[in-house]
Amino acid sequence: MAHQRAGQHRDSQLDVQLPDYARELLERSTLIIVSNRGPVEFHQTNDGEITTKRGTGGVITAMSAAARFADAVWVACAMTATDRVIAEKMRQRREALLTIPDLPGFRLRFVVPDTEAYHGYYNRIANPLLWFLQHYLWDTPRAPDIDHETWQAWHEGYVAVNRLFAEEVVAAAAAAPREPIVLLQDYHLYLTPTFIRELRPDLLLHHFVHIPWPDQDYWRLLPLPMRRAICEGLLANDIVGFQTPRHARSFLNTVDANLPEAEVDYRRREVTYRGHTTRVRVYPISIDPELVRAVAESEDACRHREHLEAFRNEYTIIRVDRAEPSKNVVRGFLAYDRLLEKHPELIGRVNFLAFLVPTRMEVAEYINYLDEINAVVGRINAKYANAAEIEGIHWEPVHLFVGDDYPRALAAMKFYDVLLVNAIFDGMNLVAKEGALLNERNGVLILSEGAGAYQQLGQWALTVSPTDIEGTAEALWQGLTMPAAERAWRAEQLRRHVVEHDLRRWLVDQLHDIADLYAERTPHRLIAPS
Ligand code: F6P
């Protein structure tokens, strides 16, 4: 989870020390950042005043940081009613670019699909169809059903909105004062590169996929025309980035299985398709430690910290997540319930604080999941309320904090004894990194094998298999009772790794590969990275 984060504190490490090739590249370029969600949403109060709210999510955090380095234009969907009103006024005034009050230096271009097209694109295809597929969430004997309505949402929603994005990117590139570099983000926009190429074959296109890329067999849940279009779309880029080597490898396998005409070079991680070569690379995303610390030290966070003191206990377990099926929140509570059953000596002595952000509330699967979370928490609290009464104490084993409050979540990360990250699958999981950075009690990280972060942090965490409730209960016990010296050593290794592999590194690695590509294409123009 990452929200309200970037831009609040702008004097961060990211502003210093770029390698020469990266600095030169940025000085010559206009970054065209393209994502479904933009850096801000506009809302209108009852008195007609227009307010801005920062967009939520890892994409926004990461790309807001990138935008600070360079001349940048952000192409994003008008998501709120007020976004649409503003976009319409801009259209009438023939203005394409909107400056953003609290993000000086970069500008926004809206893509404005009609509401039905947007619904098909976002609420039917991107979430849940692609999101569920890429996180292995489908209960396959029952879902997904690709019926007439799904196909309609594909053609009139996903394809149509991707085309609109491409048109806006091409317009942004034409108006760019410097050489454009197009940075596409995520699963909403898999087809956009195909449509951009039709209009501007010369543009440099870089696409980062923030979520897992599943095994090629699982992609067969999608009909062949859909998965071919997705592969072709990604291969219209010059570089495609993934979070982990495994995801990159799965992508190469998927291309191999679905586009027999493509030449896949596994050793060089390159694909040549219809005369165009795409490099497939790995860039594990991270956090900006300075920025995260600054929010965690903010007045707001300190106020929360004081308030949260009342919810701590001798042992405190926390989790911080979007309330989302891939995060596996319900099984986390079932494991906690099992821990209390196996270790009644913990009754009254341990609290589980869960900070959950509701998300995608237009999609039935998400609404149902939030209901399931509430139900399981209610059951556990009721069950142990009785047990506690017998012992003569007032104790609520689970405290649920629902809402989008990033400073509050960071405040809580400082004091956990155990942080539970048991996602079924996750592209990266930045909570694991934020916790490792901020915790002040040598807290233990319990980390799912399915999180991308596991490949970097797994060796210092307690490993859980996400479906293993019994194993997760055991890990919770081990985490709470681990000897102090071992806790301290693991916590130190985690912190060091996160600081050394920060968001700046994620950006610089991508700039390195882009500069490399430019240096090959136009060797006289740029310093080649070493
Ligand atoms: O990469 C996945 C992602 O785009 C993250 O940035 C973020 O956590 C989440 O999905 C945001 O989703 P949405 O924009 O649908 O709220």
Other Cβ atoms within 10 Å of 264 Cβ, number = 19
| Sequence-distant (≥ 6) Cβ neighbours of residue 102 within 8 angstroms | 7, 40, 52
- The rounded Å distance from CA 57 to ligand 1 centre is 5
Task: Say yes or no: CB of residue 360 within 6 Å of ligand 1.
Answer: yes
**Residues 289, 325: contact at Cβ < 8 Å?**
no
**Residues 504, 13: contact at Cβ < 8 Å?**
yes
Q: Which residues pair with 124 in a beta bridge?
A: none
Task: Say yes or no: CB of residue 55 within 6 Å of ligand 1.
Answer: no
Residue 474 has pLDDT above 80, yes or no: yes
Task: pLDDT band for 58, please (50, 70, 90 cuts).
Answer: confident
Q: What is the rounded CA–CA span in Å between residue 526 and residue 510?
A: 16
Residue 441 has pLDDT above 70, yes or no: yes
In single-letter form, the type of residue at position 287 comes to I
Q: What is the pLDDT of residue 526?
A: 58
Q: Which protein residue has the closest C-alpha to ligand 1 atom 4?
A: 59
- The rounded Å distance from CA 74 to ligand 1 centre is 16
- The rounded Å distance from CA 447 to ligand 1 centre is 20
- Of 64 and 324, the one with more pLDDT: 324
Q: What is the pLDDT of residue 159?
A: 99
Q: What is the rounded CA–CA span in Å between residue 341 and residue 455?
A: 32
Q: What is the pLDDT of residue 198?
A: 97
Q: Which protein residue has the closest C-alpha to ligand 1 atom 7?
A: 57
Q: What is the pLDDT of residue 7?
A: 35
Task: Say yes or no: CB of residue 163 within 6 Å of ligand 1.
Answer: no
pTM for this prediction: 0.94
Ligand 1 atom with minimal separation from the 37 CA: 14
Task: Say yes or no: CB of residue 210 within 6 Å of ligand 1.
Answer: yes
Residue 5 has pLDDT above 60, yes or no: no
- The rounded Å distance from CA 59 to ligand 1 centre is 7
Pairing of strands 350-358, 398-402: parallel
Q: What is the pLDDT of residues 86-131, one digit of tens each?
A: 999 999 999 999 887 766 667 999 999 999 999 999 999 999 999 9
Q: What is the mean pLDDT of the chain?
A: 93
Q: What is the pLDDT of residues 195-252, one digit of tens each?
A: 999 999 999 999 999 999 999 999 999 999 999 999 999 999 999 999 999 999 999 9
Q: Which protein residue has the closest C-alpha to ligand 1 atom 12?
A: 57
Q: What is the pLDDT of residue 386?
A: 73
Residue 377 has pLDDT above 80, yes or no: yes
Range with lowest mean pLDDT among 4-13, 72-81, 277-286, 351-360: 4-13
Q: What is the pLDDT of residues 392-433, one digit of tens each?
A: 778 999 999 999 999 999 999 999 999 999 999 999 999 999
